[in-house]
Amino acid sequence: MEEFDYPDAAKILENKKIKLLKGDGHLLLADCGNSPQQIKIWTRDGGDFCFLANASRGYVTLEVHKVWALETASHPISADLTSRGKTETVNVSKTGPQDGYQSVGEGTDSDPSVLVELRVTG
């Protein structure tokens, strides 16, 4: 039975300080570049990092602290963030009022937030 554990999670945590837990294989950690399939996560502590979407639906559960913005180009996304014991779901459309960019957590003058799940929704 498939457990959906993220491959090489311990090595990624050690090298990039990103705690990846589980996923369905449709959102893969990648170097940031100019790919329209890229989803970018901006953090205050570790800079930014990216995932590539290889399908119109997918997810990854993770733990990334001090996230302040999310960006997408070709796929709408949904993200769960926690702060002070509460979870908030943020939706970012690929062609929204901010052109696929959404401030979250400290980026909205709020408390620091932890990204706990990222989903491609279309």
Q: Set out the domains of the chain in order of their start, with CATH numbers.
A: 9-121 (2.60.20.30)
pLDDT digits (tens, 9 = 90+) for 95-121: 655 568 889 988 787 888 999 999 999
pLDDT digits (tens, 9 = 90+) for 38-86: 999 999 886 899 999 999 999 999 999 999 999 998 899 999 999 999 9
How many C-beta atoms surround the C-beta of residue 23 within 10 A? 22
C-alpha 56 chain-centroid distance: 15
Longest dimension (CA), the chain: 43
The pTM for the full model equals 0.87
pLDDT digits (tens, 9 = 90+) for 7-41: 788 898 888 888 999 999 999 999 998 877 899 99
Indicate the SS3 state at residue 65: strand
Contact between residue 88 and residue 116 where contact means Cβ atoms under 8 Å apart: no
Strand segments (E) across the chain: 19-23, 27-30, 38-43, 47-53, 57-65, 67-72, 77-83, 86-92, 101-103, 114-121
